[in-house]
Structures are given as structure tokens and as C-alpha cells.
Amino acid sequence: MFRRSRPAAEDPSSYDGAGDAGAAIPGDDGVASSPAITAGKGRPTPKRSDAERRRRRQPYTAPKDRKEAGRATRDRQRADRGRRMEAVRRGEEWALPARDRGPVKALARDYVDSKRRLSEFYMYGLLVLLALVFVRTPVAQSILDGLVIVGVLIMLAEGTLIGRRVRALAAERLPGVSTRGVALYSAMRALQIRKLRMPRPRVNIGDKV
């Protein structure tokens, strides 16, 4: 369309006809500066799109939207904590705290969880001892003292045996890996009720480790 109008642009007598038809004349300064030609059909200029983008972001700065954004952030953090806690229960390495990480600690957990141990009932024993404290009779007090001594001796003996066995097993299966702190780690896990242990036991009672 513009090519055919160029001859008319060279002939001054044809300007009136071109103006009536509404055709754009490339050499004409008045038409070249028209927004209809520079902006294009139905396409906003970059400045307009930037302004629209800024307008879409403005509601997030309003007080109501800040509350909604904060609520969404809290929900997202709660969901992340839930996923991490599930990963800890499953024993996934990336989610475990530093004290539970490493192949030696995993081996210690499996060894402790593979058997029933007297130390596992330590918490139940504490409840019995707590109940006996409120019984103000000479017989109850004498039983209480004896139970405390027996409980302490059982925990010390079993914890020592578990720690030695775990260290020997780790040295055999994981040579060169540090076993520092694994004895105490094993003894403390043995004191926990099986259902409440974290991470969850991944071996059944009676399984070979």
C-alpha cells in the first residue's frame, strides 16, 4: 500500500486524494509521528506493559494483601516443616539433625532397634517411681530406694554393653569411619520407648543386623 502511494507523494496534486483515502504517506512528518503507526495495531508499547506490570504488583503492598502474603508464607513454612518431619521419621539423611547423620549412627539405630531391651522400659519405670514418691509409708520408701538402685545399675550395664557392641560392629563393617560418640548415642536410643524413637525403627524385632 505504501509503495503504490510513493508516486502520489512525488505529485503534489495527488495529496488531497491520498488524504481523503486515509492512506499513510511515508515522507510526511505529520503522519510518521502518528501513534497509530509507531505503536502498531493492538500492541502496547513497552512502557505501557511495564506500567501494567507495576499495577498488578501494587495490591501486594496494601495492608490486606500483606496479611494474605504473610498467611501464605506461614502455610508454606508449615508445609515445609511437615515434609521435613516426615523425612526425619523415615530417616532420610538430608533431613536428619547432625547428631543422627552418618552410616555409623544408622547402624547403631538398627542394632538397638533389632531387639527388646530392659532399658526401653525406663520411662515406664520412672512413672512407677514417681507414684511411689507420694506414698508416705516406710515400706514404699524402702522399695523406692531399691528400685532406683536396680534401675541405675541396669541402665549402666546395658548401655555399656550396647555401646561396645556397636563400636565393634562399626569397626568391622565400616572400617576407617569415626565411631566417636556412637556408644553414648546407642545407649540413649535404647532408653527411648520404641514407638517414640526418632527416626522410626526401620528393622523389626528379631531381624539380624
Give the 3-state DSSP-derived string for 34-86, with helices as H, strands as E and coil as C. Answer: CHHHHCCCCCCCHHHHHHHHHHHHHHHHCHHHHHHHHHHHHHHHHHHHHHHHH
Cell numbers at 138, concatenated: 516406710
Give the separation between CA 14 and CA 128, rounded to whole angstroms.
112
Model confidence band, residue 56 (pLDDT cutoffs 50, 70, 90): low
Residue 53 pLDDT level (bands cut at 50, 70, 90): low
Average pLDDT, rounded, for the chain: 78
Question: What's the rounded mean pLDDT across residues 40-61?
Answer: 55
* pLDDT exceeds 90 at position 181: yes
Instruction: Determine what percent of the chain is predicted with pLDDT higher than 90.
Output: 44
CB atoms < 10 A from the CB of 96, how many? 19
Element (H, E) at 18: helix 15-21
Q: Among 49-58, 152-161, 200-209, whose mean pLDDT is lowest?
A: 49-58
Band (30; pLDDT cuts 50, 70, 90): very low
pLDDT the model gives residue 73: 86
Contacting residues for 128 by C-beta, under 8 A, at least 6 apart:
147
pTM for this structure?
A: 0.63
Spatial separation of the C-alpha atoms in residues 196 and 193, rounded to whole Å = 5
Higher pLDDT, 23 or 174: 174
Sign, CA torsion 22/28/32/35: negative
**Cα 68 → chain centroid:** 21
Helix, strand, coil % (nearest 5) of the chain? 75, 0, 25
Lowest mean pLDDT among 36-40, 72-76, 88-92: 36-40
